[in-house]
Chains A and B, each alone.
Chain A
Amino acid sequence: MKRFLAAFAVSASLSLLSAIPAQAQEAPKLAAQADGATMSGGCDSFTWDVSHELDVLGKPAKSVTGGTDGRKPVPLDLDQHYAVKLVPQGTVHFAAKPGKPMLDDGAQAGVFSFHTPKAGRYRVSITTGHWLDVVDGALIVVSSDFQGQRGCEKVHKIVQFELSGNKDFVLQLSGGTQGKLDIAITQVKTS
C-alpha cells in the first residue's frame, strides 16, 4: 500500500509531462529482402491511410539543404515533397537536444521549420531512419505514434504529432548517417 502512495508522489511531479510514447527508430533502407515486398511489408502495409503522404512524395521534389542553426531553420511548406541534403551533425546547433541520443560518428543532421495553419494531427514522412524531433520553442513535442515499413520505396518512416494551430515549429533530423533523404509534412484530414 505504501508503495502506491509513495509512487504517486513521485509521478505527480511529472504529471505535466506527456505520457505518450516517443517514436522509434526503424531500420535504415539498406537491407535486401528475402521475399520482395512480402518480406517486411511494402507501401500497402501501413496500418494508417497514408495515401496522401505517398501522393505528396510521388510528386517532383524541391531541393533544400538542412539548416545548421535552430534559430535559423530552413522553412518547409506543407504538402510539398523535398529532397533534402543534410550536413555533419557536429556542425549543427539544434533548437533542443535531440530526443533520442545516438553515437554521433558520421551522423548527418539538419534543422527546418514549418507552419501549422490550424490545430490537428500532422505527419512527418521521411525516407531514412533519422531520428526526428518537432520542437515548440525549446521543448520537444512528444510524438503520438509512428509507423515504419521496409520495402516501401517512397517512405520509410512516418511520425505523427498533435500540434496546435497557427504556429511555427522546428523540425530537427539527427542521428542517421545518410546525407540525403526525402521529406514531406502533411496534415491528417479528419472526416
Chain B
Amino acid sequence: MSVLIALVASAAFGVMAQDDAHPPRPWRVLTASEQTAFDLGHAVFNTQWTPAGEPAGRRDGLGPLFNAPSCDACHNSRRRGRGPAAAGPAPVDLVIQVGMRQPDGGVSRGTERFGYILNTSALDGMEPEASVSIRYKEVTRAYADGTRISLRSPTYVVTLPGGGALPAGLVMKPRMPQSAQGVGLLERVSSLEILKLASAEGGVPLNVRGRASMIGMGDVSELGRFGWQATEPTVASQVAAAFSREMGLTTPAIDHIDCGQAVAVCASKPNGGTPEVDLDLYRAVVLFEQMHAVPSTVTPEPTLAAAASKRFADIGCGACHRSTLHATSDIGDNLAHEIHPYTDLLLHYMGEDLSDRDAAGEVVLSEFRTAPLWGINASVASVRALRLMHDGRARSIEEAIAWHGGAGATSRAAFEKLSKEDRDTLLAWIATL
C-alpha cells in the first residue's frame, strides 16, 4: 500500500518511466505470485507459436490459418504496430477485419466465408484467405495561414487465391494493432463514468458526444471498451479474440479459430491441444496486459505543457480525448485514482474519409472509439516512423489531426486556425503524452 502511494505520488497513476527496449513494468507493486504470472505472461506475449506438434509442448497449435505467430509480432514490445511504411504489400501487423452489409444498413461483425479477419498466412496444406496490398494517393490540405499538409489516402487491394471477385457487400476494415499498455487501467474505469459521458449529464456538447458500445450477450449487454470500435468488453476477451482470429489458437475462452467456411478443413488438421493456449498461460498473459503500465519516456517543459493542455481543451480536443478518467485500484483501498488516458472510451462518427468501405468502394459510415493518447510518447521516441489512426495512414500527429472529420471536424478546423507557433506547441505536447 505504501509503495502504491509512493508511485502515485511520484508519477501519474499507471504511468511508469520506461522505454520498450527494457523489461515491462507493472503500474503497481505486484505480489510474488503476481510477479511470477506477470513474467510468464510476458514470455507468452513474446512467444512464437509453432504448428501442432512442432515441437509438441505448450507453444504449439499455431494456425492453420493465421496472421502472425506471436502477440509481439504485431504489438511490438507491447506498443502500437509499426504499420505500413509505404505502398505495397500490407505488413503483417495491418489486419483486415471483415463484415457484411446488412439490409438495415448496418454491418455484421465477421462473415460466413472468412470469419472475422482475412487470414493472410496458412500452414502447409491450406491456402491463406487473401493477400492484401495498399495504394496511397497523396492529397493536400491547406490551413488558414496558407500552410499546406500532405496526407496519404489509402486504397486496399484484396486478392483472393486463384483470383475471383470479392463477395458483394463485403466490408473491409483495415486495423492497426493498438498498444497493449495501460489497458488494465481502462478496464478499471467504471461503466457508469463512461455512460455518463455519453449522456446529457456528462455535459459534452451534442455534436461531439459519443455513443457507448453496448455488446449484446444474450439478455445482458456489456460495455465495449477495447479495439478500434470498442467491440470487446474486457482485456481477457480481447486477448482471446486475438489468439483465435489472428494466431489460430484456441483458449479457455474461445474454443475455435477464425476459419470461416474452411472450418471443417481446419478442424481436420492437427491441433496443439484443447485448448491450445493452456489456462495458466492464458491467465498469465491477460494479467500481464492488465498490469502493464503506460510508458513515460519524456517530460515536457511545465509551462509549455500547461499552455498546450489548455489549448487542447479550448479547441475541443478534450471533449473526446478526455484527459482524466478514474480507475479503481484492486489493493483494498477501493479508491478511484485519476488516470490520464485522453479517451472517453466512446464511439464517434469521424467522417467519410476515415470510414470503412465495401468491396465496391462504397463508404460504410463508421464510428471509432476515441483512441487513447497516453503512451504515444513511446512511439514518438522510437527511431521508427510513426504510423497513426486505425490503419496507420497518418505519418505524424499533425496528419492524424488533419484526418479528423465528423465529431472531430470542429476541433480540427480550430487547430488549423491556430498560429504555426501554437500548432507546433500543441503538437510537441501531445507527443509527450
Contact between B121 and A102 (Cβ–Cβ < 8 Å)? Answer: no
Contact between B48 and A10 (Cβ–Cβ < 8 Å)? Answer: no
- The answer to whether the Cβ of A138 comes within 8 Å of any Cβ in the partner chain is no
Partner of B21, one of A1, A21, A106: A21
Q: How far is the CA of A14 from the CA of B299 in the complex (A)?
A: 13
Which size class do A's interface residues fall under? 35 or more
- Flag A9-26 by CB within 8 Å of B: 1 or 0 each: 111011001111110111
- Distance in Å: Cβ of B393 to nearest Cβ of chain A: 17
- Distance in Å: Cβ of B128 to nearest Cβ of chain A: 4
Q: How far is the CA of A38 from the CA of B88 in the complex (A)?
A: 8
Contact between B21 and A17 (Cβ–Cβ < 8 Å)? Answer: yes
Contact between A25 and B46 (Cβ–Cβ < 8 Å)? Answer: yes
- Distance in Å: Cβ of A75 to nearest Cβ of chain B: 27
Least CB separation from A177: chain B residue? B50
Q: How far is the CA of A102 from the CA of B414 in the complex (A)?
A: 47
Asked whether A105 and B58 contact (CB < 8 A) given A10-B17, A38-B89, A45-B89, the answer is: yes
Q: How far is the CA of A30 from the CA of B305 in the complex (A)?
A: 48
Q: How far is the CA of A177 from the CA of B50 in the complex (A)?
A: 8
Contact between A8 and B299 (Cβ–Cβ < 8 Å)? Answer: yes
Asked whether A11 and B76 contact (CB < 8 A) given A27-B92, A28-B69, A34-B129, the answer is: no
Contact between A19 and B297 (Cβ–Cβ < 8 Å)? Answer: yes
- The answer to whether the Cβ of B250 comes within 8 Å of any Cβ in the partner chain is no
Partner of B48, one of A20, A22, A143, A176: A176
Q: How far is the CA of A4 from the CA of B44 in the complex (A)?
A: 33
Q: How many inter-chain contacts with C-beta < 8 Å in the A-B complex?
A: 191
Q: How far is the CA of A34 from the CA of B118 in the complex (A)?
A: 11
Contact between A32 and B299 (Cβ–Cβ < 8 Å)? Answer: no
- The answer to whether the Cβ of B382 comes within 8 Å of any Cβ in the partner chain is yes
Contact between A28 and B50 (Cβ–Cβ < 8 Å)? Answer: yes
Contact between A32 and B120 (Cβ–Cβ < 8 Å)? Answer: no
Q: How far is the CA of A129 from the CA of B69 in the complex (A)?
A: 10
CB-defined contacts of B19 to chain A, threshold 8 Å: 14, 17-21
- The answer to whether the Cβ of B30 comes within 8 Å of any Cβ in the partner chain is no
CB-defined contacts of A177 to chain B, threshold 8 Å: 48, 50, 54-55, 59
Q: How far is the CA of A131 from the CA of B77 in the complex (A)?
A: 13
Least CB separation from A99: chain B residue? B21
Least CB separation from A18: chain B residue? B21
- Flag B19-36 by CB within 8 Å of A: 1 or 0 each: 111100000000000000
CB-defined contacts of B20 to chain A, threshold 8 Å: 21-22
Partner of B12, one of A7, A21, A131: A7
- Residue picked from B63, B70, B124, B127, most chain A C-beta under 10 Å: B70
> In chain A between 1 and 59, which residues have their CB closer than 8 angstroms to a CB of chain B?
1, 3-11, 13-14, 17-22, 24-28, 30-35, 38-41, 45, 47
Q: How far is the CA of A22 from the CA of B23 in the complex (A)?
A: 11
- Residue picked from A1, A21, A25, A150, most chain B C-beta under 10 Å: A21
- Distance in Å: Cβ of B161 to nearest Cβ of chain A: 5
**Residues of A participating in the B interface, judged by any CB pair closer than 8 Å:** 1, 3-11, 13-14, 17-22, 24-28, 30-35, 38-41, 45, 47, 99-103, 105-106, 129, 131, 142-145, 150, 175-177
A-B contact pairs, 7 of them (CB 8 A): A22-B77, A25-B46, A34-B161, A38-B131, A47-B85, A105-B58, A142-B21
**Given A19-B21, A32-B124, A102-B48, 16 further pairs, Cβ under 8 A:** A1-B305, A4-B302, A6-B11, A11-B299, A19-B297, A24-B82, A31-B63, A32-B121, A34-B131, A35-B131, A38-B159, A41-B89, A99-B21, A105-B58, A106-B60, A150-B121
